[in-house]
Amino acid sequence: MVKTAPKKTMSVVADVEPEKAFWLNDGRMLKNLKELAQALETMDGALWSFHANGERNDFANWVEDVFGQKQLGSALRKTKSAKTAAKRIKEKMSAPRFWSFLM
């Protein structure tokens, strides 16, 4: 069996490469989790529902797949509104333990 190295956690304050950016359905491009939290704070219900609904959660997928933040992605899957999702991201980003993974 071939062992693979664990996926590294990406810095949430650094911008992702352009090909890994998150494109909102309204045309805005997000490059890091801070921008995602800011966009979620003012996001209307229609845009939220386009990206987070019973079939998918694009925000959680991006957080998990691009940043390697499985716990935060799981928390986002449980949220029912954009404002709550923004709050979860800010809570995780302000936790000292969260930052220790990025060192």
The pLDDT of residue 91 is above 70: yes
Q: Which residue has the tokens 């956690």?
A: 9
State how far the Cα of 71 lies from the Cα of 81, in Å rounded to an integer.
Answer: 18
What is the predicted pLDDT for the residue at 93? Answer: 87
Question: Mean pLDDT across the stretch 14-22?
Answer: 94
Longest dimension (CA), the chain: 48
Per-position DSSP letters for 37-97, written without gaps between them: HHHHHH--HHHHHHHBSSS-BHHHHHHHHHH--HHHHHHHHT--SHHHHHHHHHHHHH-HH
Q: Which of 24-28, 85-89, 99-103 has the least mean pLDDT?
A: 99-103
User: Which tens digit of pLDDT belongs to each residue from 35-80?
Assistant: 999 999 999 999 999 999 999 999 999 999 999 999 999 999 999 9
Residue matched to tokens 């019973």: 54
Q: List the chain domain ranges.
A: 34-100
Binned at pLDDT 50, 70 and 90, residue 96 comes out as low
Residue 11's SS3 state is coil
Residue 92 CA to chain centroid, in angstroms? 11
Position 98 scores a pLDDT of: 52
Mean of pLDDT values over 85-94: 94
